[in-house]
Structure 1
Amino acid sequence: MNPHTHFSQLARYNVWATRRLLDAVAQVPEADYRRDIGLFFKSIHGTLNHLLVGEHFLWYPRFARGVSPMVALDSEVEPDRARLAQALQGGAANWLPLIESWPTERFEGVLSYTTTRGEPTTLPFAAILSHVFNHGTHHRGQVTAALTALGHSCPVLDLAYCLQEEARA
């Protein structure tokens, strides 16, 4: 598969899954939303903040501008849940035009950046871009498990359902 086709598909899925998850989270009472329920980042709010930090404050600038911001992975960068949801949706939408702007040979290269521990690192470009989308899927899965454990409904987020919706559209 052409890398543009593959990563554009992942970017569209990221937007779709983020929207569906945030629609479900919007129905959760504040106490459940902020409750420490044993997730790695404690709460639904903490996990969503981590997604914003990882995907949009760290990885996006590394890929888009070649800069490595220094921000802790557990930072609460947006305390307001409505603004956090908007930032996650807006950030997810930024990936598709970025991916489409790269020449095909870029996917065969490397990404050099500085880790949050200050260590210079170089990794295969396509593999680490895959990590960005896989990371989002992982943490969305944690949030859906939390929703279920708290007795709330959660959306189906399988890529296959996104692809079926795209095919029908």
Structure 2
Amino acid sequence: MHELYWEEFQKKCCWDERINSLVRQAWARKEAKSYGQYLFNMRSLKRNKHGFKPAHIPQEKRKLGHEPLHSELFLYTHTKNHDGVTFTNEKDRQIHAAYIEKREELEAEGVEFEEDKLFYAVVGGHDKKRRLYGLGSFAKAVPNRNGKTDVSYIPKKK
């Protein structure tokens, strides 16, 4: 694989043949550093495919003035430039719309509920691999409530 990159480099650059070994050594050092950084970036993306890290929660807490709700984290991580309006895909827009619709319905009926549990119910809870759609790596911190997602039975903390 590295030979392929070296051959491509040779096609694009010219130097005196007398310093070929020096150029090869310098290229190998640069290539090793670049490739190492590339691998590090790829591993980071796998850990956090939505670009959201739980470390941002204190930042959101300062901005909002309270601990961010799951629906607020979802809105932050699934809209372009975190604008809260332009969703990254149709599924995300539908989930947010379903959440808002259900929340307004429960408020109109006068039912008390917890916002986070409502969000949990709308996204369908954890899957078999303990993933919770829309919260990225933060989902691991959310208790698994599968089997208890009917929001009519979720009392609001007072």
Both proteins in one fold, TM over 0.5: no
| TM-score interval, normalised by the smaller of the two chains | under 0.3
Greater per-residue strand proportion: 1
Higher relative contact order (CA 8 A, sep 6+): 1
TM-score by length of 1: 0.24
